[in-house]
Amino acid sequence: MNAAPISRLWRRIHLALAFLTIFPGPRNACSEADIVSSVPFYPLVGAVLGALLAAAAWAMHMLLPPLVAGFALVGIGAALTRGLHWDGLADVADAWGARAKGDRFWAIVKDSRIGAFGVLAMVLGVGLQGAALGHLCAAARFEPIFLAPYAGRLACLTLAYAGRPWTRPGLGSLTLRGATPPALGANLLAAGLAAWIAMPFAQLGAALFLCSLGLGFLLHLARRHQGLNGDFLGAAIVWTETAFLVCS
C-alpha cells in the first residue's frame, strides 16, 4: 500500500490544525502551496475544537454553576485558538465603527490596538456565547457545542470563496485561494447532516438566517472597501459560532 497519499493528507490536516489552534505544526518547513492545500480541512479543525469543548462542557456541567461553566468554555475556546478570531472581530468592528474609508479603513483593521467598537463587539460576543453555553450546560445539550465551531470554520470557508474578487495581501489571501468549490461543497454536505441531527429545524433556520446576515454584512464591507483579509474571516467565525449557540 502506498503511504504517500495518506502522508500528504495528514500533513494538510496537521497544517490546518496548527494554523488555527495552539497545537504545534509539522517540524519541516511548509510553503504557501502547503497552506493553501490545508484550507479545505478548516471545518475539520472546527470539529476537533467542538469535540474538545463538548467534552469539557460535559465535565463542567456536573461540577460548576451553568453560567460559570459557560464563560469558562468561552475562555477555553479562546485559549485553544490563541484568540485569533476574536482579534479579527475587534479589528473589523473598529474599522466599521470609525466610518473610515480607503487606506484609513485598512490602517485601522491592521492596528494592533483596540478601540471602543472593538471592545463592544468583544463584550457582546463573549457575553452572548457565555450565556448561551451556560444554558446548554444546564440543559445537558452538548451537540450544539460540538457543532458551533464546525459551523464557524465552514462560514470562514464560505466567506473566503465568496470574497475572492477582493483578495488582499497577507495570510488571509491563502485561505481565499484554498476555498475551492469542491472543498466548500463537501463541507456543506457534512455540516448539513450534522446540523440536521443536532438541532431542531426552527432553531437551525434561525441560526442560518443570522449567519447569512453576518456573512452578507461582511461581504458588503469587503465590496465597499475593495478588500477581504484574515480579520474578516475571523469575524465570520465568531459571528457564526455565536449565532449557532444563541439559537440552540
Q: Convert the pLDDT of each residue in 44-97 to its tens digit.
A: 999 999 999 999 999 999 999 999 999 999 999 999 999 999 999 999 999 999
Distance, in Å, from the CA atom of 12 to the CA atom of 95, rounded to the nearest integer, reads 33
Tell me which of 103 and 28 has the higher pLDDT: 103
SS3 per-residue string spanning 38-107: HHHHHHHHHHHHHHHHHHHHHHHCCCCCHHHHHHHHHHHHHHHCCCHHHHHHHHHHHHHHCCCCCHHHHH
Q: What pTM was estimated for this model as a whole?
A: 0.94
Distance, in Å, from the CA atom of 1 to the CA atom of 141, rounded to the nearest integer, reads 42
pLDDT (tens digit, 9 = 90+) per residue, 32-48? 888 899 999 999 999 99
Cβ-contact 218, 236 below 8 angstroms: yes
Residue 237 is predicted with a pLDDT of: 97
Cβ-contact 178, 36 below 8 angstroms: yes
Task: For residues 126-135, give the mean pLDDT.
Answer: 98
pLDDT (tens digit, 9 = 90+) per residue, 73-83? 999 999 999 99
